[in-house]
Structure 1
Amino acid sequence: MSERRTPPPLPEALPVPIVDAHTHLDACGAKDAADVTAMVDRAASVGVARVVTVADDLAAARWAAEAATWDERVFAAVAVHPTRTAAFSATDRGEVEALAGRPRVVAVGETGLDYYWDYSPPAAQQEAFRWHIDLAKRLGKPLMIHDRDAHEDIWRILEEEGPPETVVFHCFSGDAEFARRCVDRGYVLSLAGTVTFRNARALREAAVHIPTYQLLVETDAPFLTPHPFRGRPGEPYCAAYTIRDLAQLRGADVAELAAAVAANAQLVFGLPDATAGEISGRGA
């Protein structure tokens, strides 16, 4: 197998355990409880102690909600991705709502707008986004936003609908000015491996100015694997690479930054206190 198709090596373990705030365990190759436990064990071995696995369609939502019951270190977020909203029926909405109401489903997401891909008409995406915003508010759960080439429409719709109490911009992709607007509004910005890309100058500039208390770290695995392994398939353990790079970028101590983003994730998603088994990497 070529190097480009193999995951990166396990990184040096973090001094403080963190949460991967957005991953896709199913897309990483996990199919059953044993796969999930093995994958999260690898992450925990380097200090990525817990994960939020995220759905992008109904099948993935069913799987994510169930996977969150297989291992105490796994939580879920469910929604229909904007690129899958061309035919988002009332029946689909009822199922998403039922899944989102489960106790180990900690966010409504990922939802939002994606104007890069031409899979769903903008009108359908916007209608679905408004519905997910309302769902998050009714359930009292964070809204996890996918925003690709759609900053201003995302902003406008949030203002028109009124945001939920907690809004997370997954894989934040804006510049310093958009980051400032989001921070001023109280939104949480989650940084993926893209923040380590050396040509992502605007994003790296923005990352320096995000207040620590409004910051999360994620992988979006198997996608967006951090530098220097860009283009290779990732897993949640890759969050350890990202947070080390981010600490260097911000001139921060790795342990202090890790502790801060872990506390943020616990607060944002309402996670219980971590157990000794979760921190040490023993599955449920």
Structure 2
Amino acid sequence: MNNKLIFDAHTHFNDETYQEMGISTSEMIKTANQKGVGYFLNCSFDLASSMLAIKQANEHENVFVAVGIHPNVAIEHTSEDLSKLEALLNSPKVVAIGEIGLDYFYTKKDMEIQKEMFKKQIEIAIKHNLTIMLHIRDHKNVFDAYDDVIEILNQYPNKPNVIVHCFSANKAYAQKLVDLGFYINIGGAVTFKNAKELQEAAAWIPMQNLLVETDAPYLTPHPFRGQMINKPEMIVYTVEKIAELKNLDKDFVIQQTTENAFSAFNIPKEK
């Protein structure tokens, strides 16, 4: 581990947007390396993207994988798909199950299906001692999904490490998650001018619980928001904003979040 390099703890090399635009994983990694980004968690959202994520990780050093079924597509997947997903865990590049959780942004009509798929994947994570990468999404100023995720996870006292991807709630919920021992992943939204509650939460989150991510190709940070798709190289803007909010040296933020990521994913430090 080189803790002078940034660990993008949630990105999507496997997203079809990159393929449609002809942007290669190798190209993105090379550019990110030049900007000081050295490690990547390639996160999945269904069975096909999980398989692609592993293929991409096998072709590139310092790319690790989360495999899982996103709550928005839970209704499209079966127990057989979960068996196929579990078969992918033989790959040494797989360090997490994700992104999994609950998404109430569009509708709650398939809420029970989402919860059932979430629980089954938690059980897979526990069985294989793999970190849980959470997806939690609600309407602004509504936190039903956060409450439900916390309630479900509290049913599993023997759960492995938990990471909240793309944290979007407020300081009060950050405190709840930290009290549970979870890691909190902060992405490009923290750079948005109107993200005052998120910025307040990010300023408060203890450094030992903090990770950084891009969620690329989504959530492009300021000053490129609305102008181009996100890439791992742009994580530097998130790191700089966190350093500013916490009144810390940027290099310290990099060092701590990279060490946290290695611990969160149980990656040997000699990697």
> Could you tell me the TM-score, scaled by structure 2's length?
0.91
Q: Which amino acid aligns with 1:130?
A: K
Structure 2 equivalent of residue 97 of structure 1: 86
Structure 1 equivalent of residue 54 of structure 2: 65
Deviations 1:200-243 (A, max 9, x none): 11111110111101100000000001111112301111111110
For residues 155 and 222 of structure 1, the distance between their equivalents in structure 2, rounded to whole angstroms, comes to 27
Deviation at 1:88, TM superposition (A): 2.0
Contact 1:85–1:120 (Cα < 8 Å) also in 2: no
Aligned ranges 1:1-284 → 2 under 5 Å:
16-27=4-15, 29-30=18-19, 35-118=24-107, 121-149=110-138, 150-162=145-157, 164-231=159-226, 232-273=228-269
Cα RMSD after superposing both structures: 1.8
For residues 59 and 184 of structure 2, the distance between their equivalents in structure 1, rounded to whole angstroms, comes to 28
Distance 1:85 1:104, change over 3 A: same
For residues 70 and 120 of structure 1, the distance between their equivalents in structure 2, rounded to whole angstroms, comes to 40
For residues 81 and 108 of structure 2, the distance between their equivalents in structure 1, rounded to whole angstroms, comes to 18
Deviation at 1:35, TM superposition (A): 2.3
For residues 17 and 60 of structure 1, the distance between their equivalents in structure 2, rounded to whole angstroms, comes to 26
Deviation at 1:117, TM superposition (A): 2.1
Deviation at 1:68, TM superposition (A): 1.1
Q: Which amino acid aligns with 1:106?
A: V
Distance 1:220 1:79, change over 3 A: same
DSSP 3-state at the match of 1:190: strand
DSSP 3-state at the match of 2:155: helix
Deviation at 1:269, TM superposition (A): 1.3
For residues 162 and 80 of structure 2, the distance between their equivalents in structure 1, rounded to whole angstroms, comes to 26
Structure 2 gaps of 5+ residues are 139-144
Contact 1:223–1:234 (Cα < 8 Å) also in 2: yes
DSSP 3-state at the match of 1:259: helix
Deviations 1:85-104 (A, max 9, x none): 11321110001111134210
For residues 237 and 178 of structure 1, the distance between their equivalents in structure 2, rounded to whole angstroms, comes to 29
Deviation at 1:26, TM superposition (A): 2.2
Deviation at 1:162, TM superposition (A): 3.4
For residues 219 and 234 of structure 1, the distance between their equivalents in structure 2, rounded to whole angstroms, comes to 7
Q: Which amino acid aligns with 1:241?
A: Y
Structure 1 gaps of 5+ residues are 1-14, 276-284
For residues 213 and 132 of structure 2, the distance between their equivalents in structure 1, rounded to whole angstroms, comes to 15
Contact 2:161–2:265 (Cα < 8 Å) also in 1: no
Distance 1:188 1:47, change over 3 A: same
For residues 122 and 172 of structure 1, the distance between their equivalents in structure 2, rounded to whole angstroms, comes to 20
Identity %: 37
Deviation at 1:274, TM superposition (A): 6.4
Contact 1:42–1:237 (Cα < 8 Å) also in 2: yes
Contact 1:30–1:39 (Cα < 8 Å) also in 2: no
